[in-house]
Amino acid sequence: MKKLAIVTSGGDAPGMNAAIRALVRLGAWNGIEIIGFERGWEGVIRNRFRKLDSRAVSGILHLGGTILRTSRCEEFRTREGLEKAAETLAANEVDGLVVIGGDGSIRGAHALSRFTDTSIIALPASIDNDVYGTDETIGFDTAVNTALAEINKIRDTAVSHERTFIVEVMGRKRGFLALEVGLTAGAEIILVPEVKFDKEKIYDTLRKNAAKGKRSSIIVAAEGIGETRKLAEDIQRNVNTEVRLSVLGYVQRGGSPTARSRLLANLFAEKAIDLLLDGHRGRVVVLQKGGVTSISLEDSCSNQKPLNIDLLKLAEKLAT
């Protein structure tokens, strides 16, 4: 392994910089030359990169976002795009490519692996935590804690004004963030895209809560359930409660990574370098039952990560 390239792709996640730093430092430790492609797959397609040495990654460990920038690259979904990216890797004599990103980026890495001899390793990093095979992605813990801190504040107003709040958290397709935030925030109701919800049941729960003396409620909803504003209006119309909607938005994607997100970034990076040095290719570094291991890109891309429905049931019991 002489030359390693790093790329961050898709939605940024807190801890991507920690992963870049760890890869560069561990790479340098092993005498590997490192480059970083800029703006996600776009940089690989257009051959835009910068050299990275240990000093180039000083002072970034605590920063959210990614110093390499990122993008959602449509061209990379085409055969031409993949071929161009493979040409860039060959032209630069890149032996190993580490892709830091979420579900979509890992699918991209898998597609590219069919066009190139470069060994590709993926590090799951996404606030959505929706990568199959890993219990957790880099950045997820930070996003959970960011959302939690905001809901703690919203709870003050909910209690003081005796209101119902719908708090919309990110998660266009999956509800991992909503589920963990909802459970840890003590939400009365959690709505995720994976489970169809019944408005009548929501009204009923809120009415029963009021009858039990609960004067305020928090509903945590993943953005993927859609139409949260309409839901707020419907609840207000059907239940004797004042309803407000708070969409947390991009505050969840940014910010300094928590210790846990940084730790995961460091451990994942260490595993990626070890895999490359041992001659592995086409792997996704994952956390399983507290240990760092890896699965194949193929395996990760051909399965869908299941949502832990037991956690939803637990949250329901805890909200009584």
Closest among 131, 85, 87 to 105, alpha carbons compared? 131
* Annotated catalytic residue within 12, 103, 128, 130: 128
Distance of closest approach, residue 149 Cβ to ligand F6P, in angstroms: 18
**CB of 89 or CB of 166, closer to ligand F6P:** 166
- Return the number of the residue (96 or 193) whose C-beta is nearest ligand F6P: 193
To the nearest 10°, report the CA torsion of 226, 229, 232, 237: -120
Nearest approach, Cβ of 31 to ligand F6P (angstroms)? 34
Kindly tell me which of 159 and 251 has the beta carbon lying closer to ligand F6P: 251
Measured from the CB atom, the residue of 38 and 128 that comes closer to ligand F6P is 128
Using CB under 6 A, list all residues that contact ligand F6P: 11, 72, 126-128, 170-172, 223, 253
Active site residue 310: no
Q: What residues act catalytically?
A: 128
